[in-house]
Chains A and B, each alone.
Chain A
């Protein structure tokens, strides 16, 4: 049975914890709004880009000399997995769900006898994957100094990925991130960026192309990769804040429950101590 003083200290420390989690929740809520706005602002570009590329791809994709970024280089031996996670923890299952999905994919690929290379974005993913797959690591992108993810960051990652692809160091590139569904639900997603995959892809309107269709496509595909990575980074950012917000909300509520329980225990002990003293006095008086 803990002493009264211990209980009081416990209650004090849980109260402090509750203050911290509450503050973190509020910060996450503010950041989430900003992250959502950023994701919203980026949507028109990504959507148009996708629409144009898919209509172009539908026209050119079947040609024999289609760009390698679209058609692949004819092999699927070496897989590069770009795993995007957060730089910080305390956001519930956010990092673990991505890592779990990536891990699942890695073991599938390894079972098929493929070579797997891993590029991580964000410290948490690297820490978790490094334990099992140190040999497969080819790089890490550190975004811990970046306050606000910009297109430049996505471009840098895209450049690295494209360079690896062009040098023949990888054949298939897949990115892993959490798609933002709502504050309480983020969906871990694997998206193959090279060779590019497009939804739909019906050639709608007839366009004049200037310069040629092929030249435009060749120019657009690298940009498309950067755009997809950028979208993923933004979705990930929003998901992270959403996950942190709900995790901290839970933590705050738990701390509240804990304080209530401890307070009851504290009061009972205090009552018990008083009762005990009274009994002692009374029985002492009766004995006389």
Chain B
């Protein structure tokens, strides 16, 4: 097994995770990417999606909406606007997220981006199996 990298997931309100992970799958704005030890330093924005961190304790999945990830050779910090562990995700919270996105889409001047966010969330619902 390859070396590990420090994975931090923080939302504005709390720190959700801080573990040594072997790989982190990130839903980047331009497509998914997986960060492992020795990844070249990258900063990417996030689209709403599922973030997975593989560590010695197993794989943990989180639902994130918006924010950005800072990847360096030794660590990944994900700053998510909102993050919920996948096990805690219920159809109700997901509905609330979709409703928020729809609301944002209604007022947002950048129609494409907002519509994309809604579509991403809908796709996520399928992926999460809810």
Contact = CB atoms under 8 A, between A and B. Distances in A.
A248 to B, nearest CB: 28
B44 interface: yes
A164 interface: no
Contacts of B19: none
B15 A210 contact: no
Interface residues of B, number: 26
Contacts of B12: 42, 45-46, 151, 154, 226-227, 230
Contacts of B68: 52, 216, 219-220
B29 A207 contact: no
B42 A207 contact: yes
A45 B70 CA distance: 12
Interface in A145-175: 150-151, 154
Contacts of B10: 44-45, 48
B79 A45 contact: yes
Contact of B41 (A49, A206, A211): A206
A264 interface: no
A64 interface: no
A152 B67 CA distance: 15
A226 B33 CA distance: 27
B13 A150 contact: yes
Contact of B30 (A38, A44, A210): A210
A215 B30 CA distance: 12
B79 A48 contact: yes
B40 A208 contact: yes
B29 to A, nearest CB: 6
Contacts of B14: 41-42
A151 B100 CA distance: 14
A92 B51 CA distance: 46
Given A48-B70, A52-B68, A41 B13 contact: yes
B72 interface: yes
Contacts of B55: none
A223 interface: yes
A45 B29 contact: no
A210 B13 contact: no
Interface of B: 8, 10-15, 28-30, 33, 40-45, 66-68, 70, 72, 77, 79, 81-82
Interface of A: 38, 41-42, 44-46, 48-49, 52, 56, 150-151, 154, 205-211, 215-216, 219-220, 223, 226-227, 230
Given A41-B15, A56-B43, A210-B43, 5 more contacts: A42-B14, A154-B12, A211-B29, A216-B68, A226-B12
A-B pairs with lowest CB-CB distance, top 8:
A210-B44, A151-B12, A208-B42, A41-B14, A45-B10, A207-B41, A44-B10, A207-B43
